[in-house]
Amino acid sequence: MRLFFAFTLVALGLIWITLVGAWSQAPARPKPAAPQGPVFTGDLVEDAKNKFHGDPATGVQLTGNLKKDAQALWDKIQGAALVDLQYASAMAGATNTNGGAIRKQCWDAIIVTNQKANGVGLKNADGSPITKPDPHLFTDVETAAEVLDDLSPQGKLFTSCAGAAALAQANVIQFISAAIAGVAGMAKLSVIPGL
């Protein structure tokens, strides 16, 4: 009987400890959603004027989130008309000026990136074009890697457009995004002193 009483007392004690421990813990509260942070375009004066909401006229709305910014820029490059990019490159080359040669280098890099993003030149073993599979999970992984390759500071697109960005007094990502946005985007960039 004593053993039964001792066992019951131990069992009740364990139950009591478990219940007290559960009651003493505060319920987990869900974290509030993070507010959207400021949008930086690289031009602090304009960013301040726009209350850090970005500049929709240029399409330049860098968020500071590398993945989102790179993917948004990649999507713009992928959606650009290849014929228009090629014509812009030809015009820049036809100027026969140092500035034109620098811009042509950037246009040519954007063209290569556009073709890569759209799968131009991908062929099957028999020489026929490869169509993008559906679903395309592994293709999306490779696309993300190519975005990072091209937009990294040592990437071909980044280095090819650095000179044109310097001429326009803009950072490289801002310049590429403005160039893809067209005339409205380029008009928002700083005017080159002396011109």
**Residue 38 located in a structural domain:** no
How far is the C-alpha of 157 from the C-alpha of 19, rounded, in Å? 62
- Using CA atoms, how far residue 121 sits from 18, 127, 153, in Å, is 66, 10, 25
Beta-bridge partners for 153: none
Whether the predicted model's global pTM rises above the 0.75 cut: no
Residue 5 falls within a domain, yes or no?
A: no
Q: Note the Cα 117 to chain centre separation in Å.
A: 14
State which residues form the domain around 58. 44-187
Give the C-alpha separation, 48 to 178, whole Å. 19
User: How many structural domains does the chain have?
Assistant: 1
**pLDDT tens string for the chain (195 positions)?**
666 666 666 666 667 666 555 555 555 566 554 444 445 455 555 655 665 555 555 555 666 676 777 777 878 888 888 899 999 999 999 999 998 999 999 999 999 988 888 888 888 899 898 888 888 888 888 877 887 788 888 889 889 999 988 888 877 887 888 888 765 555 555 554 444
Is 14 within a domain? no
Evaluate whether residue 149 is within a structural domain. Answer: yes
